[in-house]
Chains A and B, each alone.
Chain A
Amino acid sequence: MKLRDLAHSRTGDKGNTSNISLIAYDAKTYGHLLEHVTAQRVQAHFAGVVFGEVLRFELPHLHALNFVMKRALGGGVTRSLALDAHGKSLSSALLDLDIPDVAASHAPPRPGAPV
């Protein structure tokens, strides 16, 4: 399944560093995110985009993770040649990550599916 089925996300920028939050729709799937969306996995996903280290911070009360990615913004929003100099669209790339299916009992209702 895609990460997008379990979590939502927003990207922020400071200098040449990007941060991406990853927030579980359902508290019950936070553990699945913790297990499968590691800093190493995110670093590998963004190879070619992120040239520094990737750190992961855990926010268990919010059922959220925060990824901090260094050297990710072509020198920083003010000097980057990139079309998306802020890297704002990086959250969508993170949510495109494939992760193992969550146990059916823990999956939130699929959007649009009959309840």
Chain B
Amino acid sequence: MAHSTRRSLRLGSGAGYSGDRIEPALELAELGDIDYLIFECLAERTIALAQQAKAKDPGTGFDPLLEARMRAILPTCIEKGIRIVTNMGAANPIAAARATAAIAAKLGLRLKVAAVIGDDVVDVIRSGRYVFEESGSPVASVGDSLISANAYLGVAPICEALATGAQVVITGRAGDPALFMAPLVHEFGWSMDDWTRLGQGVVVGHLLECAGQITGGYFADPGRKDVPDLARLGFPIGEVSSDGDVVITKVGSAGGCVTEQTCKEQLLYEIHDPRQYFQPDVVADFSEVRVEEIAPDRVRVTGGSGASASGLLKVSVGYVDGYLGEGQISYAGGGATARARLALEIVRERLRLTSVQTSELRFDLIGVDSLHGPSLSAEHCEPYEVRLRVAGRSDTLAEATRIGNEVETLYTNGPAGGGGATKSAREIIAVQSVLLRRELVTPSVVVIESRP
């Protein structure tokens, strides 16, 4: 951490999830005057799916869009000296680093890529007596269905990777805010027991990690909360000073907006007790955070703090949890809801008569009660069209497939006027959390260089 002379840094957020738009990241690299471009692409379940892919082919298991993103941004980032930090390594950061180096080589560019590994703790979890945090049931109860177990790493191994001089750092599972905090700790030389700065660092990371969700994405409500040019939504930039204060902004010509309202919504997104937001390196406290619009599309956010981290790391455990079978069909016009309800009762009866084996079943009328159930929707008026949805959980793919079949047969056997039937069946990959003692997780860094 030799660079403690930096007074401020500009962090760009290049993706809010694995499938996110790519052009806004390139726009940040070209026009954002940023020092770092950070991509958070790893949802809870994604890493279990990636682990399954890696088991079939050891060269895969990283983010499916990694190569497309790198091809788009590497030339500009290398030309401008913008460093990249991302968790697109998913279940295989080393293969992701190799793929990135290969893209650079093909473009004729020299590039040093560092992979952070050691989040994969499936052997530790498999051999120990661990209990799922939320359900309280033992991990051992899922038996051979266990797919993956990945610990949320903190900033230390990412800083170690940055200290190698690598321009691109690729991790697997890490705390999402840690991807943004690591450049701050590395460049500003923050101490790892400076709980106030680390807590404010979590605020910075949390605000930026969902990309467009703070620049007007997932916010618009016409007539009340209008957002300009959402089709060209810009992704956020955090201008962070060495004490952690941040101004959230965007490229001036990009669509979207940054306001106190967009910042408040994102600050509280996925937060429980605002005084205790548990992260690998600090328990952050958001309760004294203030947001202040200092100019159009410029909002200053200050006041985050924190307390010492617990000795435990959260581990996401992925396992196969049966199969989901589903069928849908639509009804329209007068009496649509009544015909859909009749159809629903027919399917319910058919699943019973034909002994389809399910552990859980769900019947929805899309357009009526599928999102919030019958009580909240009761007083709302009759829709023009209704879509019946039946979903169920079974132990086998064959049983799950029968659920959708019983919806499809409504065509010739059900109420009048059903249309647009669809059916599907798929494996359910469930994820639950386990807490693991920090010293049982031993991350390390592997450096790979491109040879053009």
Contacts and interface: CB of A to CB of B under 8 A. Distances in A.
A32 interface: no
Interface in A56-113: 57, 59, 61-62, 64, 66, 68, 74-79, 81-84, 89-90, 93, 96, 111-112
Contacts of B321: 78-79
Interface in B368-401: 370-376, 389, 391-393
B267 interface: yes
Nearest to A65: B268
A48 B44 contact: no
Given A62-B291, A76-B430, A47 B134 contact: no
Contacts of B63: none
A55 B224 CA distance: 28
Q: Chain B at the A interface: mostly helix, strand, loop or mixed?
A: mixed
Given A10-B268, A12-B270, A66-B268, A78 B44 contact: yes
Given A48-B374, A61-B303, A12 B271 contact: yes
Contacts of A45: 376
Contacts of A48: 373-376
B371 A83 contact: yes
B362 A62 contact: no
Interface in B200-240: 218-219, 221, 223-225
A78 B385 CA distance: 29
Contacts of A75: 430
B264 A62 contact: yes
- Residue with the highest number of chain B CB atoms closer than 10 Å, among A14, A83, A90: A83
Nearest to A62: B264
Interface string B244-274: 0000000000000000010011111111111
A64 B288 CA distance: 12
Contacts of A59: 268, 274, 286-287, 289
B290 interface: yes
B376 A93 contact: yes
Q: Chain A at the B interface: mostly helix, strand, loop or mixed?
A: loop
Contacts of A46: 376
B431 A83 contact: no
B40 to A, nearest CB: 15
Contacts of B360: 81
Contact of B272 (A16, A17, A82, A84): A17
B96 interface: no
A8 B265 CA distance: 8
Given A77-B44, A96-B376, A83 B269 contact: no
Nearest to A17: B272
A112 B223 CA distance: 7
B122 interface: no
Given A57-B274, A78-B431, A81-B324, A89 B269 contact: no
Contacts of B269: 10, 12, 21
Contacts of B291: 62
Contact of B268 (A4, A64, A74): A64
Nearest to A24: B264
Contact of B270 (A14, A57, A79): A14
Contact of B289 (A61, A90, A93): A61
Contact of A49 (B221, B272, B373): B373
A57 B134 CA distance: 21
A67 to B, nearest CB: 10
Given A78-B431, A112-B223, A66 B45 contact: no
A68 B277 CA distance: 13
A62 B393 CA distance: 42
A84 B371 contact: yes
A74 B361 CA distance: 11
Contacts of B264: 21, 23, 62, 64
Nearest to B361: A81
B366 interface: yes
B364 interface: yes
B429 interface: yes
A19 B371 contact: no
The 4 closest A-B pairs by CB, nearest first: A12-B270, A21-B268, A79-B430, A10-B265
14 contacts: A10-B219, A10-B268, A12-B268, A12-B269, A12-B270, A15-B134, A16-B134, A17-B272, A57-B272, A66-B268, A77-B45, A79-B321, A90-B372, A96-B376
